[in-house]
Amino acid sequence: MSCELVLVLDAPSPRDLASALKRLSGRVRWAKVGLEMFTACGPDCVREVAAMGFDVFLDLKLHDIPNTVARAVESAAKLPVKMLTLHTAGGREMMRQAVKAQQQTAPQLRLLGVTVLTSLGEPDLKETGIDATPEAQVLRLARLATDSGLDGLVCSPLEIASLRRQVPPSVRLIVPGIRPAGLGTRDDQTRVMTPAEAARAGADFIVVGRPIFKAPDPVAAAQAILAELATA
C-alpha cells in the first residue's frame, strides 16, 4: 500500500481554509479535524469537511474512563468520519470497550492509538514519571494497543521502523512530525522526518498541516509532497 497524505486543518473553522481546501479537493483524499476546530464549531465542521469531498480523520485523542470513551466512539460513529484517535495511555479496558463500541456501531471506522506525542522528548517523559525513552514507551503502548484490538497507531517518524518490526502488517501507521526537506523549521515538533523518509520507513499515512497551508501556494506545496511520496 502506498503512503497517503493527510491535510491538518489547524484553524477554528473549515471556512478559514475554504479557498485552499476547494483547490485541494480531488487532489488529496484525507483531511484531519482536530481539537481546535472541533471545539470551535463542533460536529458541523466534520460534516462541512466531508461535504467538500474529503475523508475525515477526527483527531480527538479520547482519554477517559472506559464507558465514557465507548459512548464517545458511538457518538463519533454517527458523523462522516473514517478514522478516530484515542490515547493508548487510557489502558487496556478503555481501548477494548472503544473497539467493542466501534465494531457494533461503525465497523468501517478505524480506531487509532496515540502513543507518545511528537512534541515530547525523553526529558518531558521523565517529568511525568515515565523513566523510558520515547521509543521504548511507544513500543510498550503499541503492544498494549494492538493486543486491545486497535488497528492503527499514531507515532513519530523515528518509531516507524521499530513498530514495523513489532506490529502486524495490517496495523496502519499514521505519522505526524513530517517536514519537507529544506523547510528550515520544526515548529513544535521534536521528532521529525521528510515525507520520502517516512514513506520508505513504512508509514501508511503522513500528517502535514503548516508546511502546506502556510506556503505561498498550498496546492503546489501539497503536490510537491505527493510527488515526493510517489517516488519514495
DSSP-assigned beta bridge partners for residue 32: 8, 57
Catalytic residues: 61
Residues 6+ apart with CB under 8 A from 219: 20, 23, 24, 27
Residue type, 158: L
Q: Among 159, 160, 196, which Cα is nearest to 180's?
A: 196
Over 78-113, what HEC string results?
CCCCCEEEEEHHHCHHHHHHHHHHHHHHCCCCEEEE
| Cα–Cα distance, 162 to 139 (Å, whole number) | 8
